[in-house]
Amino acid sequence: MKQQENMSSLIMIFGATGDLAIRKLFPSLYRLFERGRLNKFAVIGVARRQITNDAFQKSVRESVINALGDKENIDEFISYFYYQSHDVTNSSSYVALRNLADQIDANYSLEGNRIFYLAMAPEFFGPIALHLKSDGLTEVKGFKRLVIEKPFGKSLESAKELNQQIRTAFSEEEIYRIDHYLGKEMVRNIEVIRFANAIFEPLWNNRYISNIQITSSEVLGVEERGRYYETSGALRDMVQNHIMQMVALLAMEPPIRLTTDEVRSEKVRVFRSLRRFESSEIKDYFVRGQYGPGTVNDEQVPEYRAEPMVDKESNTETFVAGKIMIDNFRWAGVPFYIRTGKRMKSKSTKIVVQFKDIPMNLYYQPEKNVHPNLLVIHIQPEEGITLHLNAKKAGGHLDAQEVKLSFANTGIQAMNTPEGYEKLLYDCLRGDATNFTHWDEVAYSWAFVDKISEVWEKTKTVDFPNYESGTIGPKAADELLEKDGFFWWPVSYLEVDMCK
Ligand code: NAP
């Protein structure tokens, strides 16, 4: 992995008064600062509203204290923050921004290294990148890197257009497309679990694995994000990026080295092996849902169509389940079932790797079944691994019973487990793009998802709402597995009391 020791950088955050900056970026920068991982640095916050440097620093202070509690060195930390009121659509104000950037660069000896973090709505990404180049902000003697948030387009075509715009100012190596799932500790752990364990890698194929299930469920509804969600839906918001990235990490071949290029090219090979379905087949492989009213945490909640800024007759899906097939030598015949939704029973992201049954079950008697072996990777909220095995029941004759061996990540590392954004910011400072998505990954996963959304958009008759809030989604999602002889492992069954 290419790492840089010298990490001095001017970090320019566009959208510095927004939710992402306040809730995630400032606390993550503070954590890096606290751990001595921010060498020489300064931050310029950019947004339209007219506020002073002092007011901006105060908002940074509040954001850190709200997230992490009181901090002794908070005054020193916020002294590195500057604010520039600037409308990114206004061409003339980029000159003032460049002057401020040059001045701060000189004052802090930042060696012309710049990170441009676009924590703003995606329609601004292209215009900002073009201006950064035309107004000379990218003319630096150090490195320049562009960090952008999801969504990266809303189809392959719009993603291509966006990519062309940002590529006029930044090379592919300089673009860091955030998928915050790739900052999660247990998502990063998938590779290590697979490639550092002699007991898993030989079994990691269609001879021993019967199916893999990925569930990412939320209890929250669409909240205040109705306007955005109406143009997105669960397929674009969750499947195209986070879920497809987890599929790629689970399915990829071992890279020859852990370099950015090698890891990415193995992931791309998975995307290239995804089975492309005919339009007429989509209904057999993918299920969509939308939440109706229901009870969540003992409270009555409204249906999706009654949420703010949502069309009363909306056909936007808030739930997706699917069966993904990877047509290569390793995975032929193994379904990867995926499921994600809002307003579900519990907040949980888990991966279940279900191994095939043993050839002959010596212990089977009615009610004394031997369970399939499962490897469960708990991504959030709890982080860890559980291995479901069979062992002799104490005191019994030769009765088998299921035992669960668990490792709780949070239990051991507790406060030291860095938050996703902290890790991604640190990677970006070091110039390590492994856990950011390459354009090829984006393009292949859009091509895959576009096919589904095209069919769904053309199908006028949708039985929405088709699942009650506070449940596990529509019945059709269960039937998707039942017809293959499988079932979703219930989240409650997979939960373990992880020793802390
Ligand atoms: P937000 O709360 O709406 O913040 C938008 C920011 O952009 C504000 O600082 C706003 O400040 C600024 N802004 C808007 N128009 C501007 C203009 N013309 N010129 C300069 N500044 C302008 O949005 P957010 O939730 O932080 O999300 C930002 C991006 O991150 C989006 O792409 C979103 O999809 C993505 N994202 C967010 C989260 C999250 O947890 N929030 C998670 C994942 C991805 P002014 O009004 O002062 O201009």
User: What is the per-residue pLDDT for 492?
Assistant: 86
Q: Whose CA is nearest to atom 21 of ligand 1?
A: 47
**Which residues belong to the active site?**
242
Pocket-testing residue among 13, 46, 48, ligand 1, by greatest number of atoms within 8 A of Cβ: 48
Which atom of ligand 1 is found nearest the CA of 122? 32
Q: Which atom of ligand 1 is nearest to the CA of 86?
A: 20
Residue 412 has a pLDDT of: 46
pLDDT of residue 364: 61
The protein residue whose alpha carbon is closest to atom 1 in ligand 1 is: 18
pLDDT at 415: 47
Ligand 1 centroid to 16 CA: how many Å?
Answer: 8
∠ CA(419), CA(423), CA(424), 5° rounding? 115
- pLDDT of 462: 84
Q: Answer yes or no: is the C-beta of 264 below 6 A from any ligand 1 atom.
A: no
Q: What does the block give as tokens for 434?
A: 């492994």
Position 500 scores a pLDDT of 46
121 CB near ligand 1 (under 6 Å):
yes
- Residue nearest (by alpha carbon) to ligand 1 atom 25: 19
What pLDDT does residue 368 have? Answer: 61
Asked if residue 87 has its Cβ within 6 Å of ligand 1, the reply is yes
| Residue numbers of the chain with a pLDDT score lower than 50 | 1, 411-416, 499-500
**Dihedral angle of Cα 118, 120, 122, 128, to the nearest 10 degrees:** -50
pLDDT at position 91: 85
User: Nearest C-alpha to atom 10 of ligand 1 is from which residue?
Assistant: 15
The verdict on the CB of residue 19 being under 6 Å from ligand 1 is: yes
Measured from the CB, is residue 89 less than 6 Å from ligand 1? Answer: yes
- For the Cβ of 15 lying below 6 angstroms from any atom of ligand 1, the answer is yes
Q: Which atom of ligand 1 is nearest to the CA of 49?
A: 47
